[in-house]
Amino acid sequence: MERSEIIGYHGTSEENAKKIVTTNFKRSENPDDWLGYGVYFFVNGISDPIANAKEWAMYKAWNGNSKPALYSRYNVLSAKVVGANILDTNKIADLKAFNLVRNRLLEIHKEHWCKDRKVTEDDRLLWNFAADFMKLDVIIHNLYIKNKTQRIKKIASNIPNVTVMCVKDVANIDIDTINKEKEGRVKL
Protein backbone atom coordinates (compact mmCIF):
# COMPACT_ATOMS: atom_id res chain seq x y z
CA MET A 1 0.00 0.00 0.00
CA GLU A 2 1.43 3.42 -0.96
CA ARG A 3 2.04 6.05 1.64
CA SER A 4 -0.51 8.83 1.50
CA GLU A 5 -0.52 12.34 2.88
CA ILE A 6 -3.60 13.79 4.51
CA ILE A 7 -4.04 17.24 6.04
CA GLY A 8 -5.94 17.21 9.32
CA TYR A 9 -7.37 20.02 11.45
CA HIS A 10 -7.43 20.03 15.22
CA GLY A 11 -9.25 22.53 17.45
CA THR A 12 -8.03 23.18 20.98
CA SER A 13 -7.21 25.88 23.52
CA GLU A 14 -4.50 28.41 22.70
CA GLU A 15 -2.45 27.16 25.62
CA ASN A 16 -2.65 23.56 24.47
CA ALA A 17 -1.89 24.53 20.87
CA LYS A 18 1.40 26.11 21.97
CA LYS A 19 2.40 22.84 23.62
CA ILE A 20 1.46 20.82 20.54
CA VAL A 21 3.59 22.99 18.24
CA THR A 22 6.69 22.31 20.32
CA THR A 23 6.11 18.73 21.51
CA ASN A 24 3.70 17.26 18.93
CA PHE A 25 0.23 15.83 19.59
CA LYS A 26 -0.57 13.31 22.29
CA ARG A 27 -2.57 10.16 21.75
CA SER A 28 -6.01 10.33 23.34
CA GLU A 29 -7.24 7.45 25.48
CA ASN A 30 -10.49 8.77 26.89
CA PRO A 31 -14.26 8.57 26.41
CA ASP A 32 -14.15 11.02 23.48
CA ASP A 33 -12.37 8.38 21.41
CA TRP A 34 -14.88 7.73 18.66
CA LEU A 35 -12.51 5.41 16.79
CA GLY A 36 -10.39 4.12 19.63
CA TYR A 37 -7.05 5.36 20.88
CA GLY A 38 -5.37 7.98 18.70
CA VAL A 39 -4.94 11.62 17.72
CA TYR A 40 -8.08 13.11 16.24
CA PHE A 41 -8.44 15.53 13.34
CA PHE A 42 -11.24 16.80 11.17
CA VAL A 43 -10.55 16.28 7.46
CA ASN A 44 -12.07 17.26 4.15
CA GLY A 45 -15.24 15.35 3.58
CA ILE A 46 -18.84 16.05 4.51
CA SER A 47 -18.25 19.55 5.86
CA ASP A 48 -15.60 22.26 6.33
CA PRO A 49 -12.92 20.71 8.60
CA ILE A 50 -11.61 24.09 9.85
CA ALA A 51 -15.13 25.12 10.90
CA ASN A 52 -15.58 21.69 12.52
CA ALA A 53 -12.32 22.09 14.46
CA LYS A 54 -13.33 25.58 15.64
CA GLU A 55 -16.73 24.28 16.74
CA TRP A 56 -15.07 21.44 18.64
CA ALA A 57 -12.66 23.85 20.40
CA MET A 58 -15.66 25.98 21.46
CA TYR A 59 -17.47 22.91 22.76
CA LYS A 60 -14.47 21.73 24.77
CA ALA A 61 -14.24 25.20 26.38
CA TRP A 62 -17.82 24.85 27.60
CA ASN A 63 -17.92 24.04 31.27
CA GLY A 64 -21.35 22.46 31.54
CA ASN A 65 -24.01 25.08 32.28
CA SER A 66 -21.75 27.25 34.35
CA LYS A 67 -19.55 30.10 33.19
CA PRO A 68 -16.78 31.11 32.75
CA ALA A 69 -15.42 28.89 30.00
CA LEU A 70 -12.52 26.55 30.68
CA TYR A 71 -10.37 28.68 28.35
CA SER A 72 -10.87 32.03 26.65
CA ARG A 73 -9.00 31.62 23.36
CA TYR A 74 -8.96 28.79 20.83
CA ASN A 75 -6.64 27.74 17.99
CA VAL A 76 -7.20 25.55 14.97
CA LEU A 77 -4.02 23.73 13.98
CA SER A 78 -3.33 21.87 10.76
CA ALA A 79 -0.83 19.06 10.32
CA LYS A 80 0.30 16.66 7.61
CA VAL A 81 -0.28 13.02 8.39
CA VAL A 82 1.60 10.36 6.44
CA GLY A 83 0.41 6.78 6.51
CA ALA A 84 0.60 3.58 4.49
CA ASN A 85 -2.27 1.59 5.95
CA ILE A 86 -5.33 3.80 5.82
CA LEU A 87 -8.83 2.50 6.42
CA ASP A 88 -11.43 4.86 4.99
CA THR A 89 -14.97 3.79 5.78
CA ASN A 90 -16.25 5.91 2.89
CA LYS A 91 -14.94 3.08 0.71
CA ILE A 92 -17.05 -0.07 0.58
CA ALA A 93 -13.96 -2.31 0.27
CA ASP A 94 -12.55 -0.84 3.48
CA LEU A 95 -15.81 -1.33 5.34
CA LYS A 96 -15.98 -4.95 4.17
CA ALA A 97 -12.43 -5.54 5.37
CA PHE A 98 -13.18 -4.04 8.77
CA ASN A 99 -16.33 -6.12 9.10
CA LEU A 100 -14.46 -9.36 8.33
CA VAL A 101 -12.07 -8.67 11.18
CA ARG A 102 -14.84 -7.49 13.50
CA ASN A 103 -16.96 -10.58 12.83
CA ARG A 104 -14.05 -12.93 13.53
CA LEU A 105 -13.31 -11.14 16.79
CA LEU A 106 -16.94 -11.31 17.89
CA GLU A 107 -17.12 -15.01 16.95
CA ILE A 108 -14.07 -15.89 18.97
CA HIS A 109 -15.21 -13.71 21.86
CA LYS A 110 -18.60 -15.42 21.93
CA GLU A 111 -16.89 -18.80 21.99
CA HIS A 112 -14.61 -18.17 24.95
CA TRP A 113 -15.84 -15.24 27.02
CA CYS A 114 -19.01 -14.10 28.70
CA LYS A 115 -21.10 -11.52 26.90
CA ASP A 116 -20.14 -7.98 27.82
CA ARG A 117 -21.53 -4.66 26.60
CA LYS A 118 -17.99 -3.27 26.26
CA VAL A 119 -17.49 -5.70 23.41
CA THR A 120 -20.93 -5.95 21.89
CA GLU A 121 -21.97 -2.31 22.10
CA ASP A 122 -18.77 -0.28 22.26
CA ASP A 123 -17.17 0.24 18.86
CA ARG A 124 -14.06 1.77 20.40
CA LEU A 125 -12.73 -1.60 21.57
CA LEU A 126 -13.31 -3.13 18.14
CA TRP A 127 -11.67 -0.18 16.41
CA ASN A 128 -8.61 -0.60 18.64
CA PHE A 129 -8.50 -4.30 17.97
CA ALA A 130 -8.92 -3.92 14.21
CA ALA A 131 -6.31 -1.16 14.03
CA ASP A 132 -3.81 -3.28 15.93
CA PHE A 133 -4.39 -6.50 13.97
CA MET A 134 -4.67 -4.78 10.57
CA LYS A 135 -1.64 -2.60 11.40
CA LEU A 136 -3.58 0.53 10.53
CA ASP A 137 -1.90 3.93 10.64
CA VAL A 138 -5.03 5.97 10.06
CA ILE A 139 -8.81 5.54 10.19
CA ILE A 140 -11.13 7.94 8.38
CA HIS A 141 -14.79 7.86 9.26
CA ASN A 142 -17.94 9.99 9.05
CA LEU A 143 -19.61 10.87 12.34
CA TYR A 144 -22.45 12.90 13.76
CA ILE A 145 -21.06 15.47 16.19
CA LYS A 146 -23.47 18.04 17.57
CA ASN A 147 -22.78 21.66 16.74
CA LYS A 148 -23.85 24.43 19.15
CA THR A 149 -27.46 24.55 17.99
CA GLN A 150 -27.77 20.77 18.00
CA ARG A 151 -26.34 20.64 21.52
CA ILE A 152 -28.67 23.34 22.86
CA LYS A 153 -31.71 21.72 21.25
CA LYS A 154 -30.38 18.24 22.11
CA ILE A 155 -30.79 17.00 18.56
CA ALA A 156 -29.64 13.38 18.24
CA SER A 157 -29.01 11.77 14.88
CA ASN A 158 -27.23 8.89 13.24
CA ILE A 159 -26.73 10.81 10.00
CA PRO A 160 -23.07 11.90 9.83
CA ASN A 161 -22.23 15.59 9.52
CA VAL A 162 -18.41 15.57 9.81
CA THR A 163 -15.47 13.50 8.60
CA VAL A 164 -12.82 12.66 11.18
CA MET A 165 -9.42 11.05 11.05
CA CYS A 166 -7.89 9.02 13.86
CA VAL A 167 -4.11 8.73 13.71
CA LYS A 168 -2.99 5.72 15.68
CA ASP A 169 0.64 6.69 16.24
CA VAL A 170 1.96 10.25 16.65
CA ALA A 171 4.99 9.19 14.60
CA ASN A 172 2.70 9.45 11.56
CA ILE A 173 2.23 13.19 12.19
CA ASP A 174 4.88 15.43 10.66
CA ILE A 175 5.60 17.87 13.52
CA ASP A 176 7.34 20.29 11.15
CA THR A 177 4.08 20.84 9.28
CA ILE A 178 1.97 21.85 12.28
CA ASN A 179 0.53 25.25 11.49
CA LYS A 180 -1.95 27.64 13.09
CA GLU A 181 -4.87 28.03 10.68
CA LYS A 182 -7.26 30.01 12.80
CA GLU A 183 -7.50 31.57 16.24
CA GLY A 184 -10.01 33.60 18.19
CA ARG A 185 -11.97 34.26 21.33
CA VAL A 186 -14.21 31.57 22.72
CA LYS A 187 -17.88 32.53 22.45
CA LEU A 188 -20.26 30.21 24.20
Positions in the binding site for another protein (CB under 8 A): 1, 29, 31, 33, 36-37, 85, 87, 91, 93-94, 96-98, 100-101, 104-105, 108-109, 112-114, 116, 118-119, 122, 124-125, 128-130, 132-136
Residue 104 CB, shortest distance to another protein, in Å, is 5
Among the listed residues 84, 83, 86, 82, the one whose alpha carbon sits nearest the alpha carbon of residue 131: 86
Question: 109, 117 in Cβ contact below 8 A?
Answer: no
Q: How far apart are CA 69 and CA 174, in angstroms?
A: 31
Residue 91 CB, shortest distance to another protein, in Å, is 8
Task: Compute the C-alpha angle 32/34/40, nearest 5°.
Answer: 80
> Please, which residue, 30 or 149, has the CB nearer to another protein?
30
Residue 169 CB, shortest distance to another protein, in Å, is 15
Using CB atoms within 10 Å of the CB of residue 74, give its burial: 0 to 12 exposed, 13 to 18 middle, 19+ buried: buried
> Please, which residue, 93 or 152, has the CB nearer to another protein?
93
> Please, which residue, 6 or 130, has the CB nearer to another protein?
130
> Please, which residue, 119 or 145, has the CB nearer to another protein?
119
Residue 96 CB, shortest distance to another protein, in Å, is 8
Task: Compute the C-alpha angle 9/12/16, nearest 5°.
Answer: 120
